[in-house]
Amino acid sequence: MFLTSFLKKISSSENKPQPKKVDNVISEDDVPISSVNLPSWKDGTVWSTPLRSQQDVNSECREIKETITDLLRMVKDPEKPNTLADLQVITDESVQVQPFEGDGYLVRIDFNPTVPHCSLASLIGLCIRGKIQKNVLERIKLDIVIAEGKHSTEEEINKQINDKERVAAALENPNLKELVDSCITEEE
């Protein structure tokens, strides 16, 4: 039954009249200028920025690294009255910045939980991500990981804190969002 109705549809579509071919060809000179013909953001040759020198790139990477390191020094530990810098969870060597796709940057942050079985490592990663996303306006791709060998479940936590959907879902929880905000808000 299905096959016969399908075949009927195919055979009926073959009987439709075909559009007529037009012999007139419009030259490029005859086409009026419209927004369709204007360059768009996708046209890289028109909108690209001048190439940056290696010295400029290195300088920008250093500046971003210093900015992020300074921001992370103020993040508070979720269970202790100290900052992540006080506890050596974040150090000057924790932040690495390199050029990435055009004029963007890849920022990698390796953090060291205070103990290998730290139950709040994913929350610390979430706080780090929240602090940077709230304060850094540069075009960056952020990669936050637990330093290799510093936690018993580092692979699972690394996946969790770098998964946009999981991060968004976690921050939809009002209690968790309030805890993250309290850790990343600086006291005046």
Domains in the chain, number: 1
Tell whether 106 is covered by a domain. Answer: yes
Is position 175 within any domain? Answer: yes
Residue 18 confidence (pLDDT): 54
Task: Tell whether 25 is covered by a domain.
Answer: no
Q: Count of CB atoms within 10 A of residue 146's CB?
A: 27
Determine which helix (DSSP H) or strand (DSSP E) holds 146, and give its type and residue range: strand 140-146
Q: What is the pLDDT of residues 73-114, one digit of tens each?
A: 999 999 999 999 999 999 999 999 998 877 789 999 999 998
Distance CA 67, CA 75 (A): 13
What's the pTM value of the predicted model, to 2 decimals? 0.69
Task: Identify the pLDDT of residue 48.
Answer: 41
Whether 17 is in a domain gets the answer no
Residue 156 lies in a domain: yes
Q: Is residue 98 part of a domain?
A: yes
Residue 31 lies in a domain: no
- Cross-strand partners of 141: 106
Let me know: does 73 contact 36? Beta carbons within 8 Å.
no
pLDDT at 46: 39
Range of the domain at 86: 53-184
Does residue 23 sit within a domain?
no
Q: What is the CATH number of the domain that holds 157?
A: 3.30.300.130
CA angle 133, 152, 160 (to 5 degrees): 30
> How far from 163 is each of 49, 109, 129, 136, 172, CA to CA, in Å?
31, 15, 11, 19, 14
- Between residues 32 and 187, the one the model is more confident about: 187
Please give the full DSSP string across 76-128, using - where no structure is assigned: BPSSSSSBTTTTTSS-GGGEEEEEETTTEEEEEEEE--SSTT-TTHHHHHHHH
